[in-house]
Amino acid sequence: MKSQLEELRRSAAERIAAAKGKSDLEAMRVAYLGKKGELTAILKQMGKLSAEERPVMGQLANEARAYIEQQITEHAEIFKQKEKEERLKLETIDVTMPGTLPRRGHKHPLTIVLDEVKDIFIGMGFQIASGPEVELDYYNFEALNIPEGHPARDTQDTFYITDKVLLRTQTSPMQIRYMEQHKPPIRILAPGRVYRSDAADATHSPLFHQIEGLVVDKGVTMGDLKACLETLAKGLFGEQTRIRLRPHHFPFTEPSCEVDVSCFRCGGKGCSMCKDEGWIEILGGGMVHPQVLRNGGVDPDEYSGFAFGIGLERIAMFRFHIDDLRLFYENDMRFLSQF
Ligand code: DAH
């Protein structure tokens, strides 16, 4: 039995030394020291020994157990150390390697242009206002001199929600809403989404953006409108830009005009950008109709005002030389990352 124990110690030490990992060690603990292990098998023979031999063998068996346990623990420690070294090696950072820059977010091209327009008007003392996109027929049409049956309704294909509720087709209802809530002097810019039931193509989208302007005060004239829009045009397209007002018709302004800027590519000589016109239309405007002032609770005998409406997409397309409106909404990173 003594030689069995010695052999056990020897073979255990050998196999533990050859173990490849923690799980090998665990398997050996079971094989040598477990309930069905080799040491237990040897101890079962104790009954056959004499009373003098038993304590001596018991002692040897305990020593063998302690020895094997110690061998396992020592090797487990070695594996732990190795693991740690490998982990540290993986975690090492080479500070001389070139870094990868995180990708920075940036503004959408429509936001860039809107912010520019806002800046220009805030510089002239305007405040920014906003209102509902789900609007009453009254604010979108009636109060702006567009009663039922008026031909102007046909030009704005409307998404109706009920008979009297719709998705606003223009930001002009903000004129009435703001005048109802505020006394003149009024100087606001009201940007926002508008909706028209148009099929999407390079120049149409069922959702787009307008920027409404409204100024109401004593003695406001068409000259003020012109100066204001000249400031906008120069701010957006450069100091050399000129503007021109062409007579037009809108139900809510009288007189009304469409406003062109001199082509910022050819300077007015004519090119493909301005379709050889030398001029590019950028917005509509005019003097607020006396009835519209009245509808907003403002006395037209005391006050006058001007208003204008800018198509944000149209301006952004010219500003960045984009020929398809749909690009603004598709969120294609190849397009967006250029701005
Ligand atoms: N609301 C007009 C449209 O959608 C644009 C417009 C024209 C707004 C003249 C105005 C204005 O305030 O005075 O076509």
* CB 241 within 8 Å of CB 262: yes
Q: For residue 147, what pLDDT is reported?
A: 93
| Residue 285 near residue 229 (C-beta atoms within 8 A) | yes
DSSP-derived letter for residue 142 is G
Tell me how far the alpha carbon of residue 172 lies from the centroid of ligand 1, in angstroms. 6
Q: Is 170 in the pocket of ligand 1 (CB under 6 A)?
A: yes
Distance from the alpha carbon of residue 321 to the mean position of ligand 1, in angstroms: 24
Residue to mutate, 177, 252, 295, ligand 1, most ligand atoms under 8 Å from C-beta? 252
Please tell me whether residue 22 adopts helix, strand or coil conformation.
Answer: helix
Residue 326 Cα to ligand 1 midpoint, Å, equals 22
Cα distance between residue 308 and residue 171, in whole Å: 10
132/168 Cα distance (integer angstroms): 8
Instruction: Please say whether the beta carbons of 285 and 210 come within 8 A.
Output: no
> CB neighbours of 290 closer than 8 A, spacing ≥ 6?
254, 300
User: Residue 94 C-alpha to ligand 1 middle, in angstroms?
Assistant: 61
- Output the CA 239–ligand 1 centroid distance in Å: 25
pLDDT attached to residue 4 = 81
| Distance linking the first and last C-alpha atoms of the chain | 86
Q: Cα 26 to chain center, whole Å?
A: 53
Contact call for residues 270 and 277 (beta carbons, < 8 A): yes
What DSSP line would sit under 245-279, residue for residue? EEEEEETTEEEEEEEEEE-TTTTTS--TTTTTSSE
Q: What angle do CA 240, 245, 250 make, to 5 degrees?
A: 140
pTM given for the model: 0.72
DSSP string for 124-137: TT-EE----SEEEH
**Whole-angstrom distance, CA of residue 190 vs CA of residue 126:** 10
**Topology of the domain covering 109-336:** BirA Bifunctional Protein; domain 2 (3.30.930)
Is there an atom of ligand 1 within 6 Å of 307 CB?
A: yes
Q: Relative to the CA of 169, which ligand 1 atom is closest?
A: 4
Phi-psi region of 168 (alpha: psi -120 to 50; beta: other; left: phi over 0): beta
Contact 285 CB / ligand 1 (< 6 Å) = yes
Q: Where are the domains of the chain?
A: 2-91, 109-336
Task: Compute, in angstroms, the gap from residue 59 CA to the centroid of ligand 1.
Answer: 105
Q: Which of 176, 209, 308 to mutate to test the pocket of ligand 1 (most atoms within 8 A of CB)?
A: 308
The CB of 250 under 6 Å from ligand 1? The reply is: yes
Nearest C-alpha neighbor of 118 from the set 188, 194, 39:
188
Task: State the pLDDT at residue 284.
Answer: 97
Return the structure tokens found at 149. 């049956």
Atom of ligand 1 at shortest distance to CA of 175? 12
| Cis ω before 255 (30° cut-off from 0) | yes
Each of the 339 residues of the chain gets a pLDDT tens digit; together they read 888 878 888 888 888 888 888 888 888 888 888 888 888 888 788 888 888 888 888 888 888 888 888 888 888 888 889 889 999 988 888 889 888 888 888 999 999 999 999 999 999 999 999 999 999 999 999 999 999 988 888 777 899 999 999 999 999 999 999 999 999 999 999 999 999 998 999 989 999 999 999 999 999 999 999 999 999 999 999 999 999 999 999 999 999 999 999 998 888 899 888 889 999 999 999 999 999 999 999 999 999 999 999 999 999 999 999 999 999 999 999 999 999
CA distances from 46 to 31, 40, 54, 259 (A): 20, 10, 7, 112
| CA 194 to ligand 1 center in whole angstroms | 12
